[in-house]
Structure 1
Amino acid sequence: MAVLDTLGVTLAGATEDAPRILYDALELGQTRGPSLMLGSARRLGCLDAALVNGVSSHTLDFDNTSNTMAGHASAVMIPALIAAGEACGAGGRDVLLAHAVGFETGARFGHGLNFHHHEKGWHPTSTLGVFAVTAACARLLGLSPEQTANALGLSASLAAGIKANFGTMTKPLHAGQCARGGLMSALLSRKGFSANAQAFEHKQGFFNVFNGPGNFDAARIVESWGGPFDVTAPGAAYKLYACCAGAHAAIEAALMLVAKHGVFDPRSIERVNTWTPARRLPHTDRPRPNSALDAKFSVQYCVARALLDGKVVFEHFEGDAYREERVCGLLPRVHAAPHRPGQFAPDNNNGAVVEVTLADGSIQSAKVERALGRTAQNPIPLDQLRAKFENCASRVLGPKAVRAALHAIDRFEEVASIREFTALLETAV
Structure 2
Amino acid sequence: MNGEQAVAEFVAGVTWDDLPAEVRRTARLALMDTLGATLAGIPARVSRITAEFAHRVWPGEESTVLTTGRKASAVGAAFANGYAANAVDIDDCAIYTKGHPGVQIFPTALALAEARGASGAEMLTAMVVGYEVAHRAARIWHATHEVYQACGSWGSVACAAVAAHLMGLPPERVQHALGIAEYHAPNLPMMRDIDHPAMVKHGIGWGAMTGILSAQLAAEGFTGIPSLFGFPEVQEWVTDIGERYIMVDGLAWKRYACCAWTHPALEGLRRLVEEHGFGPEDVERIRVEAFHEAVRLGTRLPTTTEEAQFNLAWPLAVFLFDGEVGPKQVLEPRLTDERVRSLARRVEAVETEEMNELERLALEGDPRGRFASRVVVRLRDGRELDSGIVEGDINYPQRCWDEESLERKFRWLVGQVLKPERVEALAGMIRRFEDVPNAAALALTVVQRPR
| TM value normalised by structure 1 | 0.87
Paired with 2:317 and 2:378, the residues of 1 have a C-alpha distance of 13
Q: Shift of residue 139 of structure 1? A: 1.8
Q: Shift of residue 225 of structure 1? A: 3.3
- 1:127 maps to 153
Q: Shift of residue 109 of structure 1? A: 2.2
- 2:104 maps to 76
Q: Shift of residue 34 of structure 1? A: 2.5
- Counterparts in 2 of 1:234-249, with a 5 A limit? 235-249=250-264
Of 294, 303, 328 in structure 2, the residue corresponding to residue 315 of structure 1 is 328
| Gap runs ≥5 in structure 1 | 208-215
Amino acid at match of 1:122: Q
- 1:69-90 superposed Cα distances (whole Å, 9 cap, x missing partner): 1111010011011110111121
Paired with 2:32 and 2:396, the residues of 1 have a C-alpha distance of 17
Paired with 1:264 and 1:45, the residues of 2 have a C-alpha distance of 50
Paired with 2:298 and 2:233, the residues of 1 have a C-alpha distance of 30
Paired with 1:306 and 1:420, the residues of 2 have a C-alpha distance of 37
Matched residues, number: 410
- 1:12 maps to 40
Paired residues of 1:112 and 1:217 also in contact (CA < 8 A): no
Q: Secondary structure at 2:183's aligned position in 1?
A: coil
Paired residues of 1:138 and 1:148 also in contact (CA < 8 A): yes
- 1:149 maps to 175
Q: Shift of residue 317 of structure 1? A: 0.8
- 1:138 maps to 164
- 1:43-79 superposed Cα distances (whole Å, 9 cap, x missing partner): 2211111111111111111111112111110100110
Paired residues of 2:55 and 2:76 also in contact (CA < 8 A): no
- 1:224-250 superposed Cα distances (whole Å, 9 cap, x missing partner): 4356321012x2110111111111121
Q: Secondary structure at 1:143's aligned position in 2?
A: coil
- 1:111 maps to 139
Paired with 2:154 and 2:121, the residues of 1 have a C-alpha distance of 24
- 1:185 maps to 214
1:162 maps onto 2:189 in alignment? yes
- 2:287 maps to 273
| Gap runs ≥5 in structure 2 | 1-28, 363-368
- 1:356-384 superposed Cα distances (whole Å, 9 cap, x missing partner): 12344422122464333543432324323
- 1:35 maps to 63
Task: Select between 341-350 and 57-66 the one with higher mean Cα deviation.
Answer: 341-350
- 1:398 maps to 419
Q: Shift of residue 133 of structure 1? A: 1.0
Paired residues of 2:69 and 2:447 also in contact (CA < 8 A): yes
Amino acid at match of 1:405: L
Residues 148 and 29 of structure 1, relative CA distance in 2, 3 Å threshold? closer
Paired with 2:285 and 2:424, the residues of 1 have a C-alpha distance of 45
1:427 maps onto 2:448 in alignment? yes
| TM value normalised by structure 2 | 0.83
- 2:276 maps to 261
Q: Shift of residue 221 of structure 1? A: 4.2
Q: Secondary structure at 2:350's aligned position in 1?
A: strand
Structure number with higher helix proportion: 2
Paired with 2:335 and 2:168, the residues of 1 have a C-alpha distance of 47
Paired with 1:109 and 1:257, the residues of 2 have a C-alpha distance of 39
Amino acid at match of 1:139: H
Paired with 1:367 and 1:92, the residues of 2 have a C-alpha distance of 46
Give the RMSD, CA atoms, in angstroms. Answer: 2.7
1:95 maps onto 2:109 in alignment? no
Paired with 2:140 and 2:98, the residues of 1 have a C-alpha distance of 12
Q: Shift of residue 329 of structure 1? A: 2.2
Paired with 1:324 and 1:196, the residues of 2 have a C-alpha distance of 52
- 1:363 maps to 384
Paired with 1:372 and 1:379, the residues of 2 have a C-alpha distance of 8
- 1:210 maps to none
Paired residues of 2:378 and 2:384 also in contact (CA < 8 A): yes
Paired with 2:210 and 2:53, the residues of 1 have a C-alpha distance of 19
Paired residues of 1:354 and 1:366 also in contact (CA < 8 A): yes
Task: Select between 310-319 and 4-13 the one with higher mean Cα deviation.
Answer: 310-319
